[in-house]
């Protein structure tokens, strides 16, 4: 069962532009996490945001969380070719703050 | 610091064969898990463990067994391979103690094809 659903499924932008990906979920969460997966590789943890937080930053990444709308967004500013990857959101819900349910991901392509 | 190590990276099995996918982590993480990733889908949890001697089923456990005899190792066994088990398998770990949750550390994956 998928908890998070990313939108859009695919995104293609020019290098230097900002990229925004969205994640919606269905039930209340303890935390929401974003991961990156380069083609053929394992996933890499980017940011974790707790249910009582509204925004977090890490370098060129900005994550927001709106629990009233059950949604989160990941903003990558000043995109680079190396940002080309799939991005996944995952949510921890119920009694667990570590067991994750995953969305299907957004495929991001940065054109040089 | 190796992180999470998965072996093998690639494997081709014939239907009915059995095999073990290895996963080892050197970060003393309590939580370890196995996922499969199929095209167009998110990760689906197969089995997980919150410590040595403790395992539990995830969303898609049928056809797979796990054991956790040490903190470091969490092997996944395919009992009798079927074409439906063709997938990419990922092992992930996470600490559970103070400061958790902190996100998962993933291995590089095992690409399994069952013919």
Give the pLDDT band of residue A47 (cuts 50, 70, 90).
Answer: very high
Contact indicator for B109, B5 with CB cutoff of 8 Å: no
Q: Is the pLDDT of residue A2 over 90?
A: no
- SS3 (DSSP) at A31: strand
Output B97 or A8, whichever has higher pLDDT: A8
- SS3 (DSSP) at B85: helix
Q: Is the pLDDT of residue B91 over 90?
A: yes
Average pLDDT along chain A: 92
Nearest CB to A102; choose among B4, B31, B42: B42
Residue A53: name the closest of A18, A37, A29, A36 by CA: A29
Interatomic CA distance for residues A57 and A49, integer angstroms:
10
CA distance B81 to chain A (A): 23
Non-local (6+) Cβ contacts of B89 within 8 A are B6, B21, B34, B35, B36, B37, B46, B76, B109, B110, B112
**pLDDT given for residue B41 in this prediction:** 77
B2-8 mean pLDDT: 94
* Cα angle, residue A87 at apex, residues A85 and A90 outer, rounded to 5°: 155
**pLDDT given for residue A4 in this prediction:** 66
CB proximity B59 to A under 8 Å: yes
CB contact under 8 A, A2 and B106: no
Give the pLDDT band of residue A3 (cuts 50, 70, 90).
Answer: low
Nearest CB to A92; choose among B101, B105, B107: B101
* DSSP per position, A36-102: EE-TTS-EEEEEEEETT--EEEETTEEEEEETTTTEEEEEE-S--GGG-EEEEEEEEETT-SS-EEE
For residue range A13-33, list pLDDT tens digits in order.
999 999 999 999 999 999 999
Compare all CA atoms of chain A with the CA of B91 and give the residue at the minimum distance.
A42
Residue A81 — φ and ψ, nearest 5°? -55, -35
CB contact under 8 A, A44 and B41: no
* Cα angle, residue B83 at apex, residues B31 and A40 outer, rounded to 5°: 55
Average pLDDT along chain B: 94
Give the pLDDT band of residue A68 (cuts 50, 70, 90).
Answer: very high
Compare all CA atoms of chain B with the CA of A47 and give the residue at the minimum distance.
B103
CB contact under 8 A, B104 and A92: no
Compare all CA atoms of chain A with the CA of B103 and give the residue at the minimum distance.
A45
Q: Is the pLDDT of residue B103 over 60?
A: yes
Nearest CB to B103; choose among A1, A45, A99: A45
């Amino acid at each position: 069962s998928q908890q998070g659903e990313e939108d859009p499924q695919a995104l293609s932008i020019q290098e230097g532009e900002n990229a925004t990906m969205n994640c919606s979920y269905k039930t209340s969460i303890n935390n929401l996490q974003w991961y990156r997966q380069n083609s053929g590789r394992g996933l890499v943890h980017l940011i974790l945001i707790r249910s009582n937080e509204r925004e977090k930053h890490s370098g060129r990444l900005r994550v927001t969380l709106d629990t009233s709308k059950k949604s989160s967004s990941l903003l990558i500013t000043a995109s680079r070719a190396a940002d080309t990857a799939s991005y996944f959101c995952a949510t921890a819900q119920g009694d667990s703050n570590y067991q994750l349910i995953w969305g299907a991901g957004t495929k991001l392509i940065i054109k040089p | 610091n190796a992180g999470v190590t998965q072996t093998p990276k690639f494997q081709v099995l014939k239907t009915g064969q059995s095999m073990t996918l290895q996963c080892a982590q050197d970060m003393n993480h309590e939580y370890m898990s196995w996922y499969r990733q199929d095209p167009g889908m998110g990760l689906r949890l197969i089995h997980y463990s919150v410590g040595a001697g403790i395992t539990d089923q995830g969303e898609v456990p049928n056809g797979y067994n796990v054991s956790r005899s040490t903190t470091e190792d969490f092997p996944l066994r395919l009992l009798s391979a079927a074409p439906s088990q063709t997938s990419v398998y990922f092992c992930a770990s996470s600490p559970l103690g103070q400061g958790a949750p902190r996100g998962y550390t993933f291995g590089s994956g095992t690409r399994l094809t069952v013919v």
